């Protein structure tokens, strides 16, 4: 199918969304914050050439792909497109972005990051002697530290906030995040080749069958959290990713969608490498998908070693890796997962349970339709390998590294549900046959959706409960932390001591 226009309006006011149009908007959405961060955090003789290279490759990729041939396109009514945008905005607020509802603990960190990006000079440094809380002042040493974290997602809200103030920057953060969620919804429809409302369901409700072991733990009076029942291995649902780390999962899902549907393997490196500025852990999960997409159809060396595949990964590795490597305290807990379980047999038991709850049900569901799809088996391989190693207390490696593979599942589920409703419902009435497979699938989806239901119910109830704890200002600023309970986590995850001795701050960071 030759796409003449990347975004066209058909008769009756319908709009055709193509891969080329989606790529154009998405690549600028992802790349512009990266360039802003490079230009504002690095010395000009590093930032300027790096930004020019990234800009040039981005423009060239858009020129090549905006009208490229692709099987992926769908037509959507203008009113439906507007509805998707409104739903994306409402979901963004409900997920806690902007902290207009009662939020989870992680938003204390996200809000403080945005505030400090708006109110402080870049790069971020903190004089720890200026902590006004006596308990925190006594806990932290008397020195100045640097701040290292993946902050790229907030560059545009922070820039606008520097001009207009925190309140405006916070609103822009909501709108920027909503735009990302809107692009994710469009990506799910694009993969399904139809405008389907199932995209909203799978975006919000996709999860493993964690409700089953969760209720078993409750029956046994065992202390656990809904998706932490295996203690050292955690695959996280979409809703928990959105509620806690929207800055990582939104870019991740857009990047995975771009990779999956990309018609030209000359730009796999460009798309895959863009994950690194937003989440180094998710990059580990993106890498196998990118390699598979790079070689599974076209193995010509000239195309594999194209400028689109080589230049961007090199530039982003050189500019971002030194900053990440400066902060080693956040990965102080690491090692073979077997050692954390205390032996091979306890690990094998947990490992098998994880596969039974998180992976195998989807393999069974997808097998008939996607058994010949390499993307399915690469995703299964990623999820099967990640649990063997643990990094950080909650294991960021499995939580974030699994995001790309799990979103492949999410895309496939969206397509299956879209086809099912299109083929079995007419005028809002079920016209198909409710066989055993349909009933079992429905039960599986209901169990899967419990995680989302519980989390969103908690958000709504706590928002209207005046006595409920709202942690959004528990930190306030990393330069003056409000709640002592957060000081240890902040100190162990974000502060870089002796930063003057680190390569990034000595030779690359702006003074």
- With a CB cutoff of 8 Å and minimum separation 6, the contacts of 126 are 144, 145, 146, 147, 478, 479, 495
Q: Which domain holds residue 497?
A: 7-508
The pLDDT value recorded for residue 317 is 97
Give the residue among 110, 201, 205, 204 at the shortest CA–CA distance from 158. Answer: 110
Q: What is the mean pLDDT of the chain?
A: 91
What band does 9 get if pLDDT is binned at 50, 70 and 90?
Answer: low
- With a CB cutoff of 8 Å and minimum separation 6, the contacts of 268 are 259, 262, 290, 293, 294, 308, 309
The pLDDT value recorded for residue 3 is 39
First to last CA, the chain: 52
Give the residue among 461, 401, 480 at the shortest CA–CA distance from 130. Answer: 480
Asked whether the predicted pLDDT for residue 242 surpasses 90, the reply is: yes
Residue 307 per-residue DSSP state: H
The pLDDT value recorded for residue 329 is 72
Asked whether the predicted pLDDT for residue 456 surpasses 80, the reply is: yes
Residue 2 lies in a domain: no
Asked whether the predicted pLDDT for residue 255 surpasses 60, the reply is: yes
Tell me the three state secondary structure of residue 274.
coil
Residue with the bigger pLDDT between 443 and 5: it is: 443
The pLDDT value recorded for residue 248 is 96
Asked whether the predicted pLDDT for residue 324 surpasses 90, the reply is: yes
Give the pLDDT mean for 264-293.
Answer: 95
Give the pLDDT mean for 6-20.
Answer: 72
Give the pLDDT mean for 26-33.
Answer: 98
- pLDDT tens, position by position, 410-425: 999 999 999 988 888 7
Give the pLDDT mean for 325-343.
Answer: 86
The pLDDT value recorded for residue 434 is 72
The β-bridge relationship of strands 73-76 and 125-127 is unpaired
- pLDDT tens, position by position, 477-500: 999 999 999 999 899 889 999 999
What band does 130 get if pLDDT is binned at 50, 70 and 90?
Answer: very high
What is the reported pTM? 0.94
Q: Is 346 exposed, middle or buried (0-12, 13-18, 19+ CB in 10 A)?
A: middle
Residue 468 lies in a domain: yes
What band does 6 get if pLDDT is binned at 50, 70 and 90?
Answer: very low
Q: Is 144 exposed, middle or buried (0-12, 13-18, 19+ CB in 10 A)?
A: middle
The pLDDT value recorded for residue 11 is 52
Number of separate domains in the chain: 1
Residue 1 lies in a domain: no
Give the residue among 376, 377, 402 at the shortest CA–CA distance from 236. Answer: 402
Residue 428 lies in a domain: yes
Q: Please give the torsion angle defined by the CA atoms of residues 258, 264, 270 and 271, in that order, rounded to the nearest 10 degrees.
A: 10
The pLDDT value recorded for residue 12 is 56
The pLDDT value recorded for residue 401 is 95
Q: What is the largest CA-CA distance in the chain?
A: 71
Give the pLDDT mean for 281-305.
Answer: 88
Asked whether the predicted pLDDT for residue 320 surpasses 80, the reply is: yes
Residue 378 lies in a domain: yes
Instruction: Dihedral sign for Cα 364, 282, 349, 229, please.
Output: negative
Structural element, H or E, at residue 481: strand 480-481
What band does 2 get if pLDDT is binned at 50, 70 and 90?
Answer: very low
What band does 314 get if pLDDT is binned at 50, 70 and 90?
Answer: very high
What band does 157 get if pLDDT is binned at 50, 70 and 90?
Answer: very high
The pLDDT value recorded for residue 1 is 34
Asked whether the predicted pLDDT for residue 257 surpasses 70, the reply is: yes
Tell me the three state secondary structure of residue 146.
strand
Residue 132 lies in a domain: yes
- pLDDT tens, position by position, 114-128: 999 999 999 999 999
What band does 463 get if pLDDT is binned at 50, 70 and 90?
Answer: confident
Give the pLDDT mean for 166-187.
Answer: 98
Residue 356 lies in a domain: yes
Give the pLDDT mean for 151-156.
Answer: 98
CA 168 to chain centre: 24
Residue 39 lies in a domain: yes
Distance, CA of 228 to CA of 119 (rounded, Å): 36
Give the pLDDT mean for 310-339.
Answer: 90
Tell me the three state secondary structure of residue 303.
helix
């Amino acid at each position: 199918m030759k796409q003449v226009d990347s975004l066209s309006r058909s008769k009756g006011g319908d709009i055709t969304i193509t891969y080329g149009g989606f790529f154009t908007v998405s690549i600028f959405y992802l790349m512009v914050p990266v360039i802003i961060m490079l230009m504002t955090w690095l010395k000009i003789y590093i930032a300027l050439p790096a930004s020019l290279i990234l800009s040039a490759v981005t423009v060239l990729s858009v020129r090549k792909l905006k009208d490229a041939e692709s099987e992926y396109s769908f037509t959507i009514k203008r009113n439906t497109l507007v509805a998707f945008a409104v739903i994306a905005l409402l979901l963004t607020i409900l997920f806690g972005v902007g902290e207009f509802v009662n939020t989870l603990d992680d938003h204390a960190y996200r809000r403080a990051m945005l505030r400090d990006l708006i109110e402080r000079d870049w790069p971020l440094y903190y004089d720890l002697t200026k902590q006004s809380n006596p308990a925190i002042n006594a806990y932290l040493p008397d020195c100045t530290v640097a701040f290292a974290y993946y902050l790229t997602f907030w560059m545009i809200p922070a820039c606008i906030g520097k001009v207009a103030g925190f309140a405006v920057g916070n609103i822009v953060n909501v709108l920027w995040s909503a735009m990302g969620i809107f692009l994710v919804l469009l990506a799910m429809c694009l993969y399904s080749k139809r405008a389907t409302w199932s995209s909203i369901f799978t975006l919000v409700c996709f999860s493993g069958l964690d409700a089953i072991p969760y209720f078993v733990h409750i029956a046994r009076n065992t202390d656990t959290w809904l998706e932490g029942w295996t203690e050292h291995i955690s695959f996280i649902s979409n809703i928990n990713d959105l509620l806690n780390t929207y800055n990582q999962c939104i870019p991740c899902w857009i990047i995975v969608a771009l990779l999956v549907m990309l018609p030209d393997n000359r730009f796999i490196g460009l798309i895959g490498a863009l994950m690194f500025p937003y989440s180094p852990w998710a990059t580990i999960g993106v890498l196998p998908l990118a390699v598979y997409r790079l070689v599974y159809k076209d193995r010509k060396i000239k195309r594999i070693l194209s400028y689109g595949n080589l230049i961007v990964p090199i530039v982003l590795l050189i500019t971002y890796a030194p900053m990440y490597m400066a902060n080693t305290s956040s990965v102080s807990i690491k090692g073979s997962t077997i050692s954390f379980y205390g032996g091979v047999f306890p690990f094998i038991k947990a490992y098998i349970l994880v596969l039974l709850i998180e992976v195998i049900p989807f393999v069974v569901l997808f097998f008939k339709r996607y058994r010949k799809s390499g993307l399915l088996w690469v995703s299964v391989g990623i999820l099967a390998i990640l649990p063997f190693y643990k990094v950080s207390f909650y294991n960021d490696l499995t939580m974030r590294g699994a995001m790309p593979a799990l979103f492949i599942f999410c895309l496939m589920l969206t397509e299956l549900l879209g086809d099912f409703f299109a083929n079995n419902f007419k005028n809002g009435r079920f016209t198909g046959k409710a066989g055993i497979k349909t009933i079992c699938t429905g039960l599986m989806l209901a169990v899967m959706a419990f995680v989302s239901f519980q989390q969103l119910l908690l958000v709504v109830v706590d928002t209207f409960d005046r006595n409920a704890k709202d942690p959004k200002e528990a930190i306030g600023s990393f330069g003056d932390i409000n709640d002592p309970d957060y000081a240890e986590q902040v100190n162990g995850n974000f502060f870089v001591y002796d930063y003057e001795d680190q390569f990034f701050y000595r030779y690359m960071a702006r003074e």
